[in-house]
Structure 1
């Protein structure tokens, strides 16, 4: 890695650090219903929405009512999006005259955007009309992200609340109020500002049809355009990921400049990072949020180091041919396959690691063309369970599930009932946390296993050997992790894969949300004990190490055998082939 690449990464991490406290403080005030700078402007609209929907924001819900409201809202959003996709040929804002989306692909896409996955088994500009992109996908980008914020805040309330009056029940807030506030005060204002900046950088925002360009060779090329900036802004901020164009953030219209690349890669993590600071503020101890943030950053930096190093080394098979892959003023060096020359290996690796740490899924390079170890890092990021910042809200509540497991392990080691923030962690919370953790390998490994044993499903995999297995693992891990990125070489648009990845996305989203809300309800009804001499501190370096160790051990025990047969085997075979090929 060059000195320039190191400086780019340091600048990125520094900006993330600087933005986290003010964003976290603002979001904590919003979700607590406190006054903010935007209150005079947006409060009348907020109250109007409550009156229109017949909602009393002050009336709190038991965790079961909260979960039912969340599931019902998302089900209706899924059905509405499915209808838009199936009817797009007869709806307005379809200048290209695109046909209805096929039933299985419409199901997959509707599930994908409802679950904040944004997995795309289609080409955006060639499959979806402007209306489908705007009214269908962009709306879901907002509300699916707001749903994640709501769940995270509900779990925070479970930890933060002290004994309630008799008969008050285990209430954790009001889902409808959380949804409205997250959308109205957080996602909409930031997305509006982000879209304006992207338009300034050259991202289109119009209703024009495709334009015809004459290439340098004299040929003709159709270049699609449309309401791009508005979708890109929220897809990045909301950790959604699906691109307006099939080439995603590698497309010059989605990502035209070096500044747009930096900003979009920052949008990937900034709200998710800010929510970790919000957690510390809402539980009354910013040190707790700082400890979780440090655990996330250390995992992110470790992944960045490995991926950037691997991509900087280049392909050993090409190096064996005598090709100089070292970097210089005139060449980026390293592994440039599948990458934009304007970004090079470092910024491509940075985006790949950030997008899978954030459960975003957008790409500015072809992940299938990463080196085996470079591709291993995004895969591992997702396999760890959407906890390295993760989706907006989803990363925080995913990490807090691991926090529960970590303090349980600490309690076993010292022979003391585990506690976190004064709340005792008992059998009910541990069982629910284990359900949330075990759901993930069920979808990822179960879907991959079915693909490998069914000839009709395996026909979608174009590459043989370990790399083909990596493509399968990546697809179903990405779906279950609600990430949405993919290796190429995997034909996802089939009835089997559209259906099975759709089920994996639903499982990875809602089968984790429900036990998480149950944990919140259980904790909300518990008394909080003050810290004593025997209380295990959960804000120091020791706890950070324990938390990271818990995440890595659970992930390693679950996924290492599959990784050994996929990217690790590919790396070893590539090294061995180069070594033996060079021997006389």
Structure 2
């Protein structure tokens, strides 16, 4: 077993070692039980008092969603104007200009919804002020938004029958004070001591070996890189993201960043089981998600380590795998692992260029985002999984001739309709968005049109379609990674993906919370011999089958037109 494989195994094992106890801790925090971080209560109480919040005021699911949407709307407006006028604000030592309205529209929506689909380069596109007080601020708040929504879901199934689902603002504040901020400090220190910049200095200069003068951007990058991974945000300080040697200086930082983006999504699954006192159900969900993750990871590793057939035909031996677009400091194997976890947990950060990966790897990356429920982002991964679970409960109930139930509550027509709508939403946004992009490119590619689609694609044919499909998939999944052969900073892509981003974020949160809230207020039905248990291996297999079948039916035609067709063309 070589050192690269050991590195990936060690990274995953350390992730579990941290995530499992973290999940138990989070269950206690949000249940109001005593924890070692209770010394932060005075700070939280000060925030509540300053904001006029009564954390003891109970909310139903509708009031939670109103609070969530209201505060996110405020951040959207605030950030939009800061991005427009950042050139007139302080902390801009490199003199970066303000954004155009369409780019500002896309950027602020992207960061509010936890996607960070960056149609700009961090070094030249934004100032230190914007990086800090808009983008990094939203790294915290967007992650806390997803976590707070998940806790509402937890509350719905903790008690037998209830409409009182806690206080949104309490969940939101605790997500930051008890989780995101302390972990960010730890990770930022690790990055700083390994060479990531953490100052407010402007660009530095050095003379290269060729004698050229090179300007190197710096800034308080370590802090942002820490929360971009912990919050599954992914928006990098530098344009090359974690493939940049200052964002990811060595293998220690590579492991740290890979661990950071997985621990909270896994911990939220564990927290769910402890919070509702059904640990077996949580471990069942964890098992399904883990199997799904490895079913994407293993073929990705095989594809990347197998090398490029086109290069092999030239008689060149590829002992280290397909290395195009990958950092030699990190290697193909660690990049394969990263590309899998970053797409399934909606982080979207990269330590290698996804556009350069092998065709089938691109298919697995997109499929991970299309499914979007194998751990998923902070909190929202469990909400996405819950939609599939409700569909599985409904189908199972029909098969055995019983009214479907979940945790003692009848699943009736209204809940199934909501689940069906949310299930169809992602294919609609991805397929319709890709079809629209293909139509515009095909019909206006040579025209002097406002969006200049003739500049979109650096790669023709199947890979060009994959680039457009990936962009829409990434936007809908709130992921943010991209096939960067696509020229995306234009009016069409900024506006089109902006709408996909906001719909793909909030509707899949509102839908599951609505289902949970509706179920919670129904009369509790005690378990009996005829109860369909949802914490068994049989039901886990049923849920997994629902996930595979629904996504295969939805996305196989599009994948066949893109990465799969490119794969067979390469073989030919």
Instruction: Please state which band the TM-score falls in when normalised by the shorter chain.
Output: over 0.9
- Name the count of aligned residue pairs: 562
1:417 is matched with which residue?
403
2:534 and 2:195 map into 1 onto residues whose CA distance is 46
Structure 2 residue aligned with 1:64: 62
Query: How many Å separate the matches in 1 of 2:516 and 2:531?
Result: 22
5+ residue gaps, structure 1, are 165-169, 327-332, 577-584
1:419-474 CA deviation, whole Å, 9 max, x = no partner? 22222211111111112222111211111110000134653122111111110100
SS of the aligned residue for 1:336 comes to: coil
For residues 262-315 of structure 1, give each alpha carbon's deviation from its aligned partner in whole angstroms, at most 9, with x where no partner exists: 110111110110000000011111111101111111111111100000001111
Deviation at 1:240, TM superposition (A): 0.2
Q: Counterparts in 2 of 1:434-449, with a 5 A limit? A: 434-449=420-435
Secondary structure in 2 matching 1:222? strand
2:266–2:375 CA contact under 8 A, matched in 1: yes
Residue 528 of structure 1 is aligned with which of 524, 527, 548?
Answer: 524
Choose from 328, 341, 347 the match for 1:360.
347
Matched position secondary structure for 2:107: helix
Give the distance between the partners of 1:221 and 1:243, measured in 2 at CA: 21
Matching residue of 1:401: 387
Does the Cα contact within 8 Å between 2:230 and 2:260 map onto a contact in 1? yes
- How big is each residue's C-alpha offset from its partner over 1:121-167, in whole Å with a ceiling of 9 and x where there is no partner? 00001110001000010000000000000111111222222124xxx
Which of 90, 94, 98 lines up with 1:96 in the alignment? 94
Alpha-carbon offset, residue 3 of structure 1? 4.1
Is the partner of 1:338 in helix, strand or coil? coil
Instruction: Tell me the equivalent position of 2:309.
Output: 316
* 8 Å contact kept, 1:211–1:222: yes
Report matched runs for 1:115-154 at 5 Å: 115-154=113-152
Q: CA deviation at 1:108?
A: 0.4
Aligned-pair distance for 1:67?
0.8
Instruction: Name the counterpart of 2:547.
Output: 551
Question: Does residue 156 in structure 1 map to residue 143 in structure 2?
Answer: no
> Taking structure 1 as the reference length, what is the TM-score of the superposition?
0.94
Match of 1:336 among 311, 323, 337: 323
Structure 2, unaligned runs of 5 or more? 445-450
Structure 2 Cα separation of the partners of residues 390 and 297 of structure 1 = 12
- 8 Å CA contact retained: 1:159, 1:423: no
Equivalent residue for 1:82?
80
Residue 579 of structure 1 corresponds to which residue in structure 2? none
The separation in 2 between residues aligned to 1:516 and 1:231, in whole angstroms, is 30
Query: d(CA) in 2 for partners of 1:322 and 1:560?
Result: 34
CA drift of 1:172 comes to 2.2
**From 40, 49, 52, the counterpart of 1:51:** 49
Distance 2:136 2:58 in 1: 29
Query: Aligned runs of 1:145-544 on 2, under 5 Å?
Result: 145-164=143-162, 170-326=163-319, 333-384=320-371, 386-455=372-441, 456=444, 458-459=453-454, 460-544=456-540
Instruction: Provide the rounded CA distance (Å) in 2 between the counterparts of 1:31 and 1:38.
Output: 12
1:81 and 1:136 in contact (8 A); partners too: yes
Any conservation in 1 of the 2:409–2:520 contact (CA below 8 Å)? no
Q: Look up the match of 1:108.
A: 106
User: Is the deviation greater in 245-254 or in 421-430?
Assistant: 421-430
- Deviation sequence 1:194-246 (CA, Å, 0-9, x none): 11111111111000001001111121111100010110010000000000000
Q: Is the 8 A contact 1:361 1:484 kept in 2?
A: yes
Any idea what SS the aligned residue of 1:566 has? helix
Distance in 2, matches of 1:551 and 1:11, equals 29
Measured after TM superposition, the shift of residue 529 of structure 1 is: 2.1
**Is residue 155–residue 519 contact of structure 1 (8 Å, CA) maintained in 2?**
no
SS at structure 2 position matched to 1:104: helix
8 Å Cα contact 2:386/2:512 also seen in 1: no
> Which residue pairs with 1:569 in the alignment?
565
Alpha-carbon distance, 1:415 to partner = 1.2
Give me the whole-angstrom Cα distance separating, in 2, the residues matched to 1:500 and 1:382: 18
CA distance in 1, matches of 2:24, 2:327: 37
Query: Which residue of the partner structure matches residue 447 of structure 2?
Result: none
C-alpha distance in 2, partners of 1:116/1:198? 22
CA distance in 2, matches of 1:216, 1:319: 33
